[in-house]
A and B are shown apart, each in its own frame.
Chain A
Amino acid sequence: MTAPITTEVPRPPARPATPAPVPTARRGRTSRAGRTLHAGPVAYAILILAVLASAFPFYWTLVAASRSNADLAQVPPSLLPGPNLIRNFEAVLEEADIGKALLNSLIVSGSITLGTVLCCTLAGFAFAKLRFRGRGALLAVTVGTMMIPPQLGVIPLFMMVAELGWVNQLQSVILPGLVSAFGVFFMRQYLVQTLPDELIEAARVDGASTARIFWSIVVPIARPGMAVLGLLTFMAAWNDFFWPIVALTSSEPTVQVALRQLGGGYVHDQSVIMAGTLLGTLPVLLVFGLLGRQIVGGIMQGAVKG
C-alpha cells in the first residue's frame, strides 16, 4: 500500500506515480522560505482523529458482520469482531443472492471501465490534437452537460430501455454508463499537457497514419491517464445506485441493488445486512488499497483543472 514518507525531503511533490504534467508557472516551488510549516502535535492529533473517523464505519461493518443479531442488541455494545462472519456471509448469499450480484457488478463495472477508457481516449485525443470543424462547439456541449444532474435524463432513458426490452438486462446499465463527459474532458486535458505536437508531426513526416499514431504514440503516452480514468470509472460504476435500481430488479441485481434489497426490510437481521454491506464494499476497498495513491493523484489532478 502507500508507504509513509520516512525521510524529510523539502516539500516532496505531492504527486502520484503517474508523471503528471509539469506546471509551467510555478518557478517559486523549490523556494522554501515562508512555508516551511512543520506539523506540530496538534496537527497530528487532528489528522489522526480524522483518519479514525474515516475508518471507523468500515471497522464497525466488520464488527457487526461478524456477530449475531442478539449481540448487536446488547448494551454496552461490543467493539470487537465476533465469530459469526462466515455464517452471516452464508445467510447473505442465500437471502439476497449476493454471489450473482457480485458477478453482475463485476461484468457491468468491467465493461463500463474498458468502454469508457477507450471511447474517451479516442475522443480526448481528437479534441486535444486534431483539427476539425465543430471541435470547439462539440467540446463545449460535452463539458456543459457535466453540470446537468443525471436524474434529468432518467425518465426518457427508462422509456427507451423499456421500448428496447432491456429492462432487467445488464446492457441497460452498461451502455448509458459508457457516456462520460468527464472522461473526455479528463483525457483531453491529459493529452494536451503530455503529448508534444512535435512528436505527432514527426510521425506524420515519417508517413504514419493517424490510426498508427494513435496506437503507437498516443496510447503509450496516455497510459497513466487512462489508468487513473479507469480507476475512477470503475469505482463510480461499482458504486452507482440510482440508475441500476431503476433499470434492474432483484432477479438480476448489481451489488448496490442487492444492498438496497437487504436494507429495504426484506432482511431484519442487522448482522446479515452488515455482512452484505461488507461483501459489497470489499472489492472496491481492495482496488483502493492497492491503488489509493493513484486515485488521490487523479482526483487532485482533475481538481486543479476543473
Chain B
Amino acid sequence: MTLTAPAKPPKAFSSPRRESSARRAWRKASPYAYIAPFFTLFAAFGVFPLIYTAYVSLYRVELQTPGDMEWRGLGNYTALLGDEFFWNSLRNTFTIGVLSTVPQLVMALGLAHLLNYRMRGRTFLRTAVLLPYATSVAAATLVFAQLFGRDFGLINYALGVVGIGPVDWQNDTVASQIAVSTVVVWRWTGYNALIYLAGMQSIPDELYEAAAMDGASRWRQFFHVTLPGLRPTIVFTVIVSTIGATQLFGEPLLLEGSISGGISHQYQTLGLYLYEQGWGFFHLGRAAAIAWVMFLLIVVVVGVNALIVRRRSRKEAGR
C-alpha cells in the first residue's frame, strides 16, 4: 500500500487524456490510501483477533501468563461439554433469549404500526420511544435492579397493591430471568419499532389502495399487506436480536453484581460464563472455546433463519 504521494503533476496536464504516467500510476494506487487507515486497524484489531481465537481455544492459556501456551487440542471443548455450568448457561441463554426477543419484537411491531399513523406530535413520540436506547446496559440494569428489589422495590410494591407477590426477582430462577429480560426489552423495543417503521414506509401505497378498494379492513390490511411487506425487515431484526441475545452479558452481570449469574447460576448466560472462566478463573483458553461455541450458535441461528425465509419465498413463488 503506497501511502506517500508522488509529486503532484504539473497543472498543464490536467486534461484526463493527456495524463502523465506518474499521475496515472498514482491514480491507480491512491484508492488504497483511502482504505488504508481503516484496514490497518481492521486487520490488527478486527480480523486478526477473530482468527486467533480459534488458535487460542486449542491451548491452555492462563490470564497471568498469556505468553505461555500449552497445546491441549480439543481439550478445552471436551472440558466444556462435561461442565454442568456450561449446559446451564446455554439453557439460560436460550430461555432469556426467548423471553426478551419475542415480546420485544411483537411490541415493536405494534408500536411501529401506531407510529405510522397520522397524528400530532409524531416526531416527538418517535424520539421518545427511542429514549431507552440512549442508556447504557450498566445504567439501565442498575435502575431495574433497584426497581426489582425484593423488599423495597417499586415493582414488588406495585404487585403488592394488586395482591400479588412479593416476588424474589433475584433468587427465583424464572423471576430472575424475567427481570434480566425486562431490561433488554425496555432498552430495545423502541429501536426495533423504528426499524419496522422504516420498513413500513417503503411498502408501496398502491398495495394499500388496492387492498382498500377490495374492501379490506385496517386489520386485514395489516396482516395481508404490512406483514408480508415487512418480511425482510422482520428477518433482519430476528437475526440481529438473536445475535444480541446470544451475547447477553452486562444485564446478568449487574443484576446483583456477581459474575456467577446469581447464587445458583440461575441467570448466568454464555457471555457471563465466558467472562467468569476468562477473567474470574483466569482460563483464557477455555474462554476462547466458549467464544467459538457462541459463534457456532449464531451461525446455526442465522442459517436456520435463512432456510425458513428461502423455503417460504419458494412456496410463495409457487402459488
Within 8 A of A (CB), among B108-127: 110-111, 114-127
Given contacts A60-B147, A280-B139, A288 and B131 within 8 Å (CB-CB)? yes
B4 within 8 A of A: no
CA distance A153 to B201 in the complex (A): 37
On whether the beta carbons of A5 and B123 are closer than 8 Å, the reply is: yes
Residue of A nearest to B161 (CB): A76
The answer to whether B204 and A260 have CB atoms under 8 Å apart is no
Residues of B within 8 A of A159 (CB): 56, 61, 66, 284
Q: Which of B131, B211, B294 contacts A149 (CB 8 A)?
A: B294
- Which of these, A2, A152, A204, A288, contacts B124 with CB under 8 Å? A2
A165 adjacent to chain B (CB < 8 Å): no
Quick one: which of B143-190 are within 8 Å of A by CB? Answer: 143-147, 149, 151-152, 154, 157, 186, 190
CA distance A306 to B129 in the complex (A): 21
Please give, as numbers and ranges, the residues of chain B lying within 8 Å of A207 by CB-CB distance.
11, 14-15
Task: Please indicate the chain B residues that have their CB under 8 angstroms from the CB of A140 in the complex.
Answer: none
Q: A126-B35, A145-B47 are in contact. Are A11 and B118 (CB under 8 A)?
A: yes
Any A CB within 8 A of the CB of B247: yes
Q: How far apart sit A127 and B36, CA to CA, in the bound complex (Å)?
A: 12
Looking across the interface, which residue of chain B has its beta carbon closest to that of A306? Answer: B236
| Alpha-carbon distance A263/B274, docked complex (angstroms) | 20
Separation of A149 and B50 alpha carbons in the complex (Å) = 9
Assuming the contacts A119-B38, A149-B246, A293-B123, asked whether A303 and B50 have C-beta atoms less than 8 A apart, the reply is no
Partner among B38, B118, B152, B279 whose Cβ is within 8 Å of the Cβ of A77: B152
Q: Does residue B315 face the partner (Cβ distance < 8 Å to A)?
A: no
Among B46, B125, B139, the residue within 8 A (CB) of A281 is B139
Decide if A151 touches B271 in the complex (CB within 8 Å): yes
Contact present for B120 and A5 (CB under 8 Å): yes
A166 to B136, CA, bound (A): 25
Cβ–Cβ < 8 Å partners of A274 in chain B? 142-143, 146
Q: Which of B48, B56, B142, B249 contacts A242 (CB 8 A)?
A: B249
Contact of A296 among B15, B121, B130 (CB under 8 A): B130
Q: Which chain B residues lie closer than 8 Å to A178 at the CB level? A: 41, 45
**By the criterion CB–CB under 8 Å, are B42 and A142 in contact?**
yes
Query: Is A175 close to B, CB under 8 A?
Result: yes
Contacting residues, chain B, for A77 (C-beta < 8 A):
152, 154, 157
- Tell me, in angstroms, the Cα distance from A181 to B42 when the chains sit together: 8
* A148 partner residues in chain B, CB cutoff 8 A: 50, 295, 298
Chain A: interface secondary structure? helix
Say yes or no for B202: interface residue by CB 8 A criterion.
yes
- Tell me the minimal C-beta distance from A164 to chain B in angstroms: 11
A29 to B287 alpha-carbon distance, docked (Å):
52
Assuming the A-B contacts A5-B122, A77-B157, are A284 and B135 also in contact, with contact meaning beta carbons closer than 8 angstroms in the complex? yes
Within residues 248 to 275 of chain A, which ones have a CB less than 8 A from any CB in chain B?
Answer: 255-256, 259-260, 262-265, 270, 273-274
Question: A6 CA to B120 CA in the complex, in Å?
Answer: 6
Q: Counting chain A CB atoms within 10 Å of each CB, which of B27, B56, B143, B243 scores highest?
A: B143
- A175 near B41 with CB under 8 A, answer yes
Number of interface residues of A (CB under 8 A): 124
Q: Contacts A14-B197, A238-B136 given; indicate if A119 touches B287 (C-beta within 8 A).
A: no
Which chain B residues numbered 76 to 111 have a C-beta less than 8 Å away from chain A?
110-111
Report if B195 contacts A (CB, 8 A). Answer: yes
Other-chain contact of B292, A31, A152, A296 (Cβ < 8 Å): A152
Flag if A39 contacts B119 (CB, 8 Å). Answer: yes
Indicate if B316 sits at the interface (CB-CB under 8 A): no
Q: Which of A42-50, A83-91, A221-229 contacts B (4 or more CB under 8 A)?
A: A42-50
Smallest distance from the beta carbon of B199 to chain A beta carbons, Å?
Answer: 7
- Choose from B123, B128, B254 the contact partner of A263 (Cβ within 8 Å): B254
User: Taking the complex as formed, is B194 at the interface, i.e. its CB lies under 8 A from any CB of chain A?
Assistant: yes
Tell me the complex Cα distance, A39–B208, Å.
17
List of A residues within 8 angstroms of B209 by Cβ: 28, 31, 33-35
Decide if B257 is an interface residue (CB 8 Å cutoff): yes
Contact of B49 among A34, A39, A122, A160 (CB under 8 A): A160
Residues of chain A contacted by B48 (CB below 8 angstroms): 156
- 7 other contacts beyond A152-B53, A288-B134, A303-B199, with CB at 8 A cut-off? A72-B146, A159-B61, A176-B46, A178-B45, A179-B41, A260-B257, A304-B199
16 interchain pairs, CB-CB under 8 A: A2-B123, A5-B121, A8-B118, A39-B118, A60-B143, A64-B146, A72-B146, A122-B38, A132-B31, A155-B284, A159-B66, A181-B46, A210-B31, A262-B142, A304-B198, A306-B236
